[in-house]
């Protein structure tokens, strides 16, 4: 294996360039196995823990399967018809869409602002990066524990700040019209760091030639930001927005721990409804049907986004 010695250079950031002479021998093709054996372990876990549950879930959605009893009967489209007429499905879906709207916009815009500011070259790079990205590293429970305390009605930081400013306290998690905004604020704080890093990476790989040329022509910082940098970031913005909408639609964890969907169901997302119906109400069949309807929605949103994304190119 002497051949590896010159190749094993440490810290390579990409594959090395191909040698100039692209020699391809018949010998190599003969001795290359067909590679199936490499894929087998993945196929095993993929089949067991992905394909099986997908198929099983689809089957369950056509049955009255329940956690309480083992034998189930086929009920056709009953679960799906019930879901379409279920007011709780629609209200939790509405909550999910509302959350997606009010969290995605700041999650993209604030991330962009952070990345532009950090990229502008002020001292203390690692400190800014750490401040903005650190919350992303926290487990969801830690985030909700900290924010439950911040939102605490009498002693929490949020209401104490309002009090210091001479304003009325707010029922951050107890007021139906405020609770979802509070959840969105927590989510922005928690996850904006990831989008920030995506933007920062994109900014660092932008060619600076246009910017330099414009600067030589006397264009100011604002002008160059609007006319050069932001247009150059359009693809990244498309990607970040796409990933963000899909992530926001899947919201469950922080809401379940923070409010359990309350007050009065005002923050319950559709995935929590699936959990409530399946694991608290024991109706696995119906829960599956609702989650498959939700999956269909995700697929439609993904396809629409891909379409828009492709057209941008």
Partner 1 sequence: MSATATTLRTRRRPPREAAGSPLLLGHGRLPRALAGTALVVLAVLWLLPFVWAVITSVQSEEDINTTGLSPFKGAFTLDAYQQILERGNVTVWAFNSFLISALVTLITVAVSTLAAYGFSRGTFRGRRALLGVTVAAIMVPPQLLVVPLFDQMTLFNMVDTYAAVILPQVVAPMMVFILKRFFDGIPKELEEAARIDGASEFRVFRSVVLPLSRPIVAAVAIFVFIGAWNNFMWPFIVTNDPDLMTLPVGLATVKDAYGIQYAQSMASALLAALPLIVVFLLFQRRIVNSVATTGLGGS
How far apart are CB 287 and partner 1 at their closest, in Å? 5
**Is 198 a binder of partner 1 (CB under 8 A)?**
yes
Site string for partner 1, 158-187 (x = CB under 8 A): --x---------------------------
Among 37, 68, 69, 165, binds partner 1 (CB under 8 A): 37
Pure H helices in 151-283: 157-164, 179-204, 209-216, 221-224, 230-232, 234-249, 253-258, 270-275
- For 203-236, letters b (16+ CB in 10 Å) and e give beeeeeeebeebeeeebeeeebeeebbeeebeeb
Q: Which of 173, 177 has the CB closer to partner 1?
A: 173
Among 130, 167, 230, 304, binds partner 1 (CB under 8 A): 130
Alpha carbon distances (Å) from 147 to 4, 157, 176: 52, 9, 17
Q: Which of 179, 203 has the CB closer to partner 1?
A: 203
Q: Which of 33, 85 has the CB closer to partner 1?
A: 33
Contacts to partner 1 from residues 212-241, by CB under 8 A: 212, 215, 220-222, 224-225, 229, 239
Contacts to partner 1 from residues 236-265, by CB under 8 A: 239, 243, 250, 252-253, 257
Q: Which token pair is 220?
A: 């100011």
DSSP 62: T
DSSP 155: T
Q: Which of 154, 168 has the CB closer to partner 1?
A: 154
Q: Which residues contact 292 (CB under 8 A, 6 or more apart)?
A: 57, 58, 61
Contacts to partner 1 from residues 108-127, by CB under 8 A: 110, 113-114, 116-123, 125-127
């Amino acid at each position: 294996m002497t051949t590896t010695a010159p190749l094993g250079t440490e810290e390579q950031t990409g594959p090395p360039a191909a040698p100039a002479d692209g020699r391809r021998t018949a010998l190599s093709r003969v001795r290359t196995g067909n590679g199936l054996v490499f894929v087998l372990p993945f196929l095993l876990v993929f089949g067991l823990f992905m394909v099986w549950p997908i198929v099983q879930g689809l089957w369950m959605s056509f049955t009255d399967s329940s956690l309480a009893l083992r034998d189930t009967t086929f009920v056709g489209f009953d679960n799906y018809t019930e879901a379409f007429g279920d007011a709780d499905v629609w209200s939790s879906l509405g909550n999910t869409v509302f959350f997606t709207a009010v969290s995605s916009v700041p999650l993209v815009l604030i991330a962009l602002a952070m990345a532009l500011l950090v990229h502008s070259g002020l001292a203390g790079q690692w400190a800014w990066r750490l401040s903005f990205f650190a919350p992303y590293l926290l487990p969801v429970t830690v985030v909700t524990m900290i924010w439950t305390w911040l939102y605490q009605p009498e002693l929490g930081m949020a209401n104490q700040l309002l009090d210091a400013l001479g304003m009325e306290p707010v029922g951050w998690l107890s007021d139906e019209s405020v609770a979802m905004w509070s959840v969105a604020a927590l989510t922005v704080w928690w996850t904006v760091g990831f989008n920030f890093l995506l933007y920062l990476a994109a900014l660092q790989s932008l060619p600076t030639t246009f910017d330099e040329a414009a600067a030589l022509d006397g264009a100011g910082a604002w002008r160059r930001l609007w006319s050069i940098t932001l247009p150059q970031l359009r693809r990244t913005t498309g990607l970040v927005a796409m990933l963000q909408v899909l992530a926001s639609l899947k919201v469950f964890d922080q809401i379940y721990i923070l409010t359990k969907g309350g007050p009065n169901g005002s923050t319950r997302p559709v995935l929590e409804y699936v959990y409530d119906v399946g694991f608290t109400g024991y109706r696995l069949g119906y829960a599956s049907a609702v989650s498959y309807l939700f999956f269909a929605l995700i697929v439609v949103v993904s396809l629409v986004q891909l379409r828009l994304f492709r057209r941008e190119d």
